[in-house]
Structure 1
């Protein structure tokens, strides 16, 4: 019972040659030789059972190989289906045969003969090569643009065409109309391929979509390298009349890398059509609708029933449509939203942005568009940017400024311009449609697209070319792959520059030289940023020229843990870094990761810098000890501390001077014995109750930790304590009055044995907190 399996071509058929005809003939003959089998009924029934077992094994082997072929994207042949059905029939006959007596057996015996030979068990699923795409029923104002694009495509000299225009103007809709027009049988096209490229352009993903369309799939295809797939696609398409439509392009696409043949005059039916936001790779601009077309579209979206529901609604609707300035996205979204609104009060708030009171709130709202699409925005971080830009005045105190920021966020949330996110609603998010409209408003309704340049999270490898740097006011290039920044652009109006998480490894010495008004600079989360030799994997110094930033208010240096010097200010070592930072006389906010405990000492000795430190401090891989006690509370703005691998620290008594600390993590620090030592605490002349605002405490892998604090603490805000692998910690500073205000305090632990050894302050404390303890799995 031998068999073999081969695969022909990339998306070809699977062949199986299997000698199962003998078995079927043997089984079938049992139902053919009537007289002979009646005479030797007992012996032949045994032989029949053996043959049936062979047949069932053959069926299972065949099914297994067919399943493998189907998993590879192939389709089971009808011959296979028929054969398997016949096997089931024989199986049922055999079962009946065993269940009847010899007389009944003679009556039921019938002639049956089955022969089989299968060379092919599966074939490729025939792809749908020309497919109409769904499109919204209400399309207004595209007729002229469609005619123009079609006329362009039908020109024998044109083989590649591009569409460009602002977000929401209708590029994808027009591309869909072109796709569907090619589906008309009057046009001789073999294949129409639609691919959504999106901002994170990846050749392999485009090849997958193209391959799926033309029938290249399965395990063997997926295993091929990019260049091999390109050859397969090229060899297939070069003989075909195809149309390739690429939607949502953000940067240049090299067709040869995908395997797309270059359309030629000899093959007039090969075309590539792009939809992009960039003019430099395209030929035809998709423009906003005319006033009449815009009003026509808006009426259809709202509906005549709503427009006629009140005499004043029609007047208001005309004004709302005008404010959309012909942008189809805005007309569609607002029109559909207002379709069910039947009161003038609701219509007066139709265009939420215009109903925001004051330029301050509007400016804060527009600023949100600098963040990437689908990005969760940390509320307090957003407020920091607003303060840095000057939208919120901090002269009357930081707390008041923060409160004002939260009030503005609340206004935007109530206007449905921002959505709250996260379990504790500490984040907000801007809907993609709202973000597109915001960018449009920021660009002076599309008239000046370089006022605010936002190319965040689109996998850029270099700083984009800007026609007129002198007009740029804000630029966001965060979440990209820009390794090197060179040149010295003249940006007299630039106020905000986002480069966080952009893969930076080098910034030229003169880049910041002509940015006199820059007030917000975010270089955080670029751990490879370095002006030294390539073998240095993390930042050693900030680029020469930073001293030109005399107006800088906010400087974010997170995740740059080897920061030693700001070259160009004083060229000093990290021991004097704080003095260099103090030279930035307008600095108000400093966010920095700290590697050395000596830096903590310097921070404590610099009250001005301590006022700048806020939100978060992270200390990592400390090798030196810190034994200083300060008598002045100075970490007044510090809210979050994460300490990991700090082998030189024995305690964290300095946390006494972080009265607003809400989040504390101490992890993998072998020498830590106490969180706060009572001896150092008593040496201070100031009476301080620690951790009055602490909400979360996580202690993990601290082999020498013996004490958090020697006496019970009130912990009025504490919600959660997590303890993992702290074998010497025997007591938690709690009593029956601790955590009363929060009423949610939970103790999470990993080792049951540790929890059983805890020494409680008294029985009342034990009875209170033990039921609130939970075993965790880390």
Structure 2
């Protein structure tokens, strides 16, 4: 990317600059030594009132109590980043130089590389947390012993980068793009936040500038993400680049790059969310040193033979190519593959002896979909894929569908597969499902299962959670029950002490179109539950009963509550149930609902958004409650 662009350098007056810096560095730091405040003022002068530099450098200096550290920072700012007479370039580099201090102050190279990777997304683009973490894992920036530890480490790194003011955290609304990427589009049209991050455009430009050797090697990283009509494919320096990002650019075709112009250095190619078809494989077949290839969200219908020339691939993402139907047997030639993503495709069969040849494989996502019917499809379990997965020595995570009774039985017999995301779909011969660690893939399910969907059943009447062993789902964060039309109740195994113990980290609970389900009285006691959605539960009259003496422990972390199309719902819960962390409440098409469960003593003081379509039909015992809620109603 050409970093010579117009940089907004509107600066603050001296007093405002000093105040902003104090806010970020903290009074405790400034008062830690008699010399610190004087040095801090000198450092602020060097930043020339540039707000973003004041913020990022202030955070970088937080807690620094040694005057020598401050002297070093001042010396850093005094250094000129470029020589010559080009004043525009000098201004850009001057700005980037001040910001780079925060980058250099990050505690290790892993954090610095993680930050640079964020610049590959388009300017002002919200980067979904799951997409970013998947990228970091694919690049080897996060590589823990198991997938749960890798995600935990990645979230910690994101926390450090946001604390340093180099990334901004943000929530966005579910979209088809996000849901299909994870293979779980159950609630694509419901407003449920998804965590993400954004990168300030100047921070992003700085990151690209750093990746290009601080202007010394402008062609090392080429970022043309999101530029669409302004993209000139032929101007890309294919022969010199190490990393190219053309994400979100509406590209329909890449012209083949002649072998003699190809770079032996190009390792990473990001072509996500374009309009490319299978001709792309011919266009890139000469990039034989590629290790990372993202072709997700395109129009690829078949995997062409040219792909198999890329024998050094370690990360291959073909997800959300909805009309991709088949996997060639030659895929087994890509023996260095560590990460293979096929979510959101229409692939039904993976040929025998393909998976077993990919011995380096760590993560595979084979949750496929039939776009026309908007229903899940699944890999044919009559093949030997389950047995082959069991043979992979480095496997850390599998995302998959267990469809029908045969598929579910195959899953249960395949002990040892580290399932991360699982959809149990269309069981037909059971009216009772036991949901316990040992009924899935053994002990490993308790350590690796992150997301579980139980979907589409006409006969299931009861779900029993837990068993006599009482092993917890330690990693489970998302639990979905959908289209279980005859389900009447969800109960605990008789010997189970509590659902809190079984689901210690569950954050998302979605219950949709379970027509006969009566209540969710166990949900208020889930210790980490943040998101609860109940929709289309026609017979449900109350979400949960009263809490009695346990009222102070109900919904301790719940932030988002969405209720829709629950036609007989007359009450959310008893008035003794509390919502201490509730931020958003959305109630639609619940025609029998007359009252909300709040009193002046149990007001949800963190509530900032209330959406309800029958506000005028509600009854109030206390006008103070109505007045409080009216302030946040939209």
In structure 2, the CA distance between the partners of 1:621 and 1:777, relative to structure 1 (3 Å rule), is farther
C-alpha distance in 2, partners of 1:510/1:385? 26
The SS at the match of 1:484 is coil
Number of residue equivalences: 434
How far is the alpha carbon of 1:426 from its aligned partner?
2.7
**SS of 2:333 mapped into structure 1:** coil
The aligned runs of 1:278-677 (5 Å cut-off) are 316-318=80-82, 335-339=90-94, 347=97, 349-350=99-100, 356-368=106-118, 375-387=125-137, 389-395=139-145, 398=148, 401-402=150-151, 404-413=153-162, 418-422=167-171, 426-430=195-199, 431=201, 433=205, 438=211, 441=220, 443-444=241-242, 448=264, 450-462=266-278, 463-465=280-282, 466-468=284-286, 470-487=288-305, 489-526=308-345, 528-531=346-349, 545-558=354-367, 560=369, 561-565=376-380, 567-570=383-386, 573-578=406-411, 582=415, 584=417, 587=418, 590-596=420-426, 601=435, 605=439, 606=441, 607-614=443-450, 616-625=451-460, 626-631=462-467, 632-653=470-491, 657-675=502-520
CA contact (8 A) 2:347 2:368 kept: no
Tell me: CA distance 1:377–1:464, structure 2 relative to 1, closer, same or farther (3 Å): same
Provide closer, same or farther for how the CA distance between residues 365 and 624 of structure 1 changes in structure 2, counting only shifts above 3 A.
farther
Deviation at 1:411, TM superposition (A): 4.4
- Cα 1:736–1:452 shift into 2, 3 Å: same
Aligned-partner Cα distance in 2 for 1:760–1:313: 55
Q: Distance in 1 between matches of 2:508 and 2:103?
A: 36
Q: Does 1:754 align with 2:586?
A: no
Give SS of 1:574's match: helix
Q: Distance in 2 between matches of 1:336 and 1:636?
A: 52
Q: Which string of whole-angstrom CA distances, capped at 9 and with x for unpartnered residues, describes residues 135-170 of structure 1?
A: xxxxxxxxxxxxxxxxxxxxxxxxxxxxxxxx4399
Contact 1:522 1:557 in 2 (8 A): yes
TM-superposition CA deviations, 1:384-416 (whole Å, max 9, x none): 5534654335349946x5554234224444666
| Cα shift at 1:581 | 6.3
Residue in 2 aligned with 1:693?
Answer: 528
Structure 1 unaligned spans of 5+: 1-166, 174-301, 303-309, 322-327, 532-540, 678-687
Partner SS state of residue 503, structure 1: coil
| Higher helix residue share | 1
How many Å separate the matches in 1 of 2:464 and 2:207?
A: 49
Contact kept, 8 Å, 1:698 with 1:721, in 2: the verdict is yes
Cα deviation per residue 1:78-112 (whole Å; 9 max; x = unaligned)?
Answer: xxxxxxxxxxxxxxxxxxxxxxxxxxxxxxxxxxx
Instruction: Tell me the equivalent position of 2:189.
Output: none
Any residues of structure 2 matched to 1:182-331 within 5 Å, and which? 316-318=80-82
Q: 1:473 to 1:667 in 2, by over 3 A?
A: same
Distance 1:530 1:498 in 2: 17
Deviation at 1:481, TM superposition (A): 0.9
The answer (yes or no) to whether the contact 1:485–1:511 under 8 Å persists in 2 is no
Determine which structure has more spread, i.e. the larger CA radius of gyration. Answer: 1
Structure 1 distance, partners of 2:594, 2:344, is 42
1:651 and 1:676 in contact (8 A); partners too: no
Sort the Cα spacing of 1:658 and 1:348 in 2 relative to 1 into closer, same or farther, 3 A.
same
Distance 2:597 2:385 in 1: 54
Shift in Å, 1:477 = 0.8
Per mean C-alpha deviation after superposition, the further-off stretch among 727-736 and 480-489 is 727-736
Q: CA RMSD in A?
A: 4.7
CA distance in 2, matches of 1:754, 1:510: 57
Displacement of 1:474 in angstroms is: 0.7
When residues 715 and 777 of structure 1 are mapped into structure 2, their CA distance, relative to the original with a 3 A threshold, is: closer
Contact 1:732–1:760, Cα closer than 8 Å, also in 2? no
Q: Given the two structures, how large is their TM-score scaled by the length of structure 1?
A: 0.47
Distance 1:547 1:445, change over 3 A: closer
Pick one of 711, 717, 720 that aligns with 2:557: 717
Matched, 1:708 2:543: yes
In 2, Cα distance between equivalents of 1:390 and 1:638: 24
CA contact (8 A) 2:488 2:517 kept: yes
Give the deviation of 1:421 after TM superposition.
3.3
Structure 2: runs of 5 or more not aligned? 7-49, 51-73, 173-192, 213-218, 222-240, 245-262, 370-375, 388-401, 493-498, 604-620
**Per-residue deviation, residues 327-360 of structure 1 (Å, max 9, x unmatched):** x9xx96x744455x6xxxx846547666654332
**Is the 1:510–1:545 Cα contact (8 Å) retained in structure 2?**
yes
Q: What is the DSSP-based 3-state SS (H/G/I as helix, E as strand, rest coil) of the residue aligned with 1:643?
A: strand
Looking at structure 2, the residues matched to 372 and 508 of structure 1 have their Cα atoms a distance apart, in angstroms, of 31
**Equivalent-residue separation in structure 2 for 1:706 and 1:503 (angstroms):** 39
